[in-house]
Amino acid sequence: MKIPERIKPLIEDGIIDDVLRQLKSGKEAAVYLVRCGEHIRCAKVYKEATQRSFRQAVEYQEGRRVKNSRRARAMEKGSSYGKREQETAWQTAEVDALYRLAAAGVRVPKTHGFFEGVLLMDVVEDGDGNPAPRLNDVMLTVEEAREYHQLLVRQTVLMLCAGLVHGDLSEFNILLAADGPVIIDLPQAVDAAHNNHASRMLERDLENLSDYFGRFAPELIHTHYGKEIWKLYANGELTPDSPLTGKFAENTKAADVHGVLLEINDVLKEEMRRQERMKALDD
């Protein structure tokens, strides 16, 4: 098969020995099965910005920190150098997230380095030793749907405890390994503490899970883990073992508009009296 241009330098450097076949081509990258010595691994080759259909929306990049001030200024100005640096930052965000989440015990592929737009990872395998299918490509029993749903809810909790929200979690970026679901595709992961969209993205991730698994276990459609988990996180009470119910009661209590107006009126009156006192002292 034709070797992707970005993989050629890795072959020349002896990091990759052979490209076996393409596993998939997605909106942001193509994934290849490669041989590295005695090991078979995945090589995720990121597409050029002009070739990708996934939009690097501002909402995903909010809160991401760039340590080098020169790079940060160039990215803000949108110069050619800045655009290249922004592209690199987008790609390395996934690498950083994978290491961070693996350390927190989240089920993500093990990484083996990032080389100029190519991310090397372990192959996630099914029970027969083949590359694991996406969750969307398998049929589940009711019991499996309930089990995997709970496991993935807990994975989102672990992620949030590590300070990250996936931001694009669905059945299309979860692989079903021999020992259960594994989460993939994380270049858009957001910093929960510094991104104003994080709570909405978490809710959407959890809704995607309940909608998908609800096809097999309908009662899951009516769960509301996103709001429940975020409330615990916002209150500083979320732990990997926090009890969850999947229920969340919205605050439906009507605002006391009349009381608020009275308080504003009192403040205005006090300000008028203060100004009158000040005027009297000047006289």
Pairing mode, if any, of strands 180-183 and 174-177? antiparallel
Q: Are 96 and 106 in contact (CB under 8 A)?
A: no
Picking from 24, 7, 63, the residue whose alpha carbon sits closest to that of residue 188 is 63
At a CB cut-off of 8 Å and minimum separation 6, what does 206 contact? 153, 156, 223, 224, 225, 226, 229
Rg (CA), the chain: 25
223 and 246 in contact (C-beta within 8 Å)? yes
Structure tokens at 141: 């029993």
How far apart (Å, rounded) are the C-alpha atoms in residues 159 and 85?
Answer: 26
Q: Is the distance from CB of 56 to CB of 150 less than 8 angstroms? A: no
Task: List Cα–Cα distances, 66 to 37, 72, 145, 188, 211, in angstroms.
Answer: 35, 6, 40, 15, 36
**Enzyme catalytic residues:** 168, 185
Rounded Cα distance between 270 and 274, Å, is: 6
Residues 6+ apart with CB under 8 A from 10: 16, 43, 115, 118
